[in-house]
Amino acid sequence: MKKSKRKFFQQQLKKLNETEKKQLYKRAANLRKASQVDAMKRKHSFRSRIDHRSNWDNESNFEKKKKTPKMDIDDWALKVLEEEGIQTLRETCRHREDLGEYSEKYYGMIEEVMPAESLVYSEGRDVKCIIGPEFSMTQKSDLAVGDNVYFSYAKDGTAVLHSVEPRKTCISRPDPTKAGIERVTAANVDKAVIVAAIKRPELRPSLIDRYLIAAQKGGVEPVVCINKIDLINEYAKEKEMEVLKAYQEIGLKVVECSAASGLGLDKLKESLASARSVFVGHSGTGKTSLLNRLCPCAEAQTGSVHNGTGLGRHTTNNSKLYHIENNIWIIDTPGIREFGLWNMNPDDLKWYFEEFDYFAENCRYSDCSHTHEPGCAVKQAVEENQISRTRYQSYLRILETISKNSS
């Protein structure tokens, strides 16, 4: 921060009262914590690169990086003031002070999370709550659609969210913009409906596999939903669906349907009965279109697939919870093109491909990674078509990606 800017924000800091300063430093501490996690990850990555080189004894090969000045908590506080502004801080603190007038807490479930506020379903109605300062820096990790929360009303009638119950399940991924930060897509869901399209965009088993792993890690039951089956004839469908037999063989439920024609929607609705589910998948697969067919009153915005590339367009911007009949709750999420796995160790990946387990017992080495080792029974099973080659290739690609990210 330039000296002129620093002097300006130091003057702003002096204008704050004790309560406002307390909330400012809480935010600063959260921001510093997130930065430290990021720094540790970069440090680990640097050390791993050194371990894989043999000539580091030669000092000419080692170039020391200039150390950046350490920031103390006051520096972080000034950074928060720079990013958010003094008025935003004072407005939030005013609502926090007003909470002291009320002892009653209300219970609800988050329907949608937006910058600085959230929509909460409580006692049959929607309540817009501002987000307390304790969540301001960690909002994408600490608050998610599906979270069970408590809020209270300030004197002016403003609802302020101030606490979250521990999650039972979740679907999450690494934040694509901030290393070392978890971004939670949906919380407390029973089922993850992985929506893929038979055509436009092309079926991507590797993305399905990534979602399956995320669902297993988060304690969520996965369901594979193949949409747009009206776009191909029976002969072509049989050929395209061949790749999905591997998922049925390991006991996964695969539902074929069409949001356009309505075919198979009854089966999909039956699989979602009395459950809270989240629709996830590639952009353009028709997640929101399926939601609109299941719940016409949702009237969620949809978009078309790009005519030239066949890729989906990003239409849904925020995850949002909808209440359907028969006690069905559905969280609609923005489509993505890449899905990273949160906190995944390369050595643990093989355990998420359960069809490997039976054959892995006969591998020559107990810690076999099923990639290059001689005497690998899993690789032999792939060659003998006892394990899906598509699933195995997906395993290798995911392993390569997370190995790079962890090194």
What pLDDT, on a 0 to 100 scale, did the predictor assign at position 63?
Answer: 46
Domain containing residue 132 = 104-164
The pLDDT-based confidence of 255 (bands split at 50, 70, 90) is very high
Other beta carbons less than 10 A from residue 291's beta carbon: 24
Instruction: Please tell me whether 403 is known to bind a ligand.
Output: no
Residue 314, marked binder: no
Determine the pLDDT at residue 44: 53
Binding site annotation covers 162?
no
pLDDT of residue 295: 84
CATH number, residue 118: 2.40.50.140
* 312 lies in the same domain as 350: no
Q: Are residues 194 and 261 in the same domain?
A: yes
Whether the pLDDT of residue 278 is over 90: the answer is yes
Most confident of 25-29, 33-37, 165-169, 172-176: 165-169
Q: Is the pLDDT of residue 313 over 50?
A: no
Whether the predicted pLDDT of 52 surpasses 80: no
Q: Given 164, 195, 214, which residue is the final one in a domain? A: 164
Burial class (CB in 10 A: 0-12, 13-18, 19+), 341: buried
Regarding whether 160 and 180 lie in a shared domain, the answer is no
286 with 312, same domain? yes
Q: Are residues 220 and 250 in the same domain?
A: yes
The reply to whether 325 and 207 lie within a common domain is yes
Q: Does position 141 have pLDDT exceeding 70, yes or no?
A: no
The verdict on whether residue 140 carries a ligand-binding annotation is: no
Q: Choose the most confident range, by mean pLDDT, from 49-63, 78-92, 159-173.
A: 159-173
316 annotated as belonging to a binding site for a ligand: no
204-222 pLDDT, tens per residue? Answer: 888 999 999 999 999 999 9
Residue 318 marked as a ligand binder: no
| Number of C-beta neighbours around residue 62 at 10 A | 11
What pTM did the predictor assign? Answer: 0.71
In a domain, 41, yes or no: no
Domain count, the chain: 3
Same domain, 269 and 359: no
Alpha helix (H) residue ranges in 205-356? 205-217, 234-240, 245-249, 265-272, 287-294
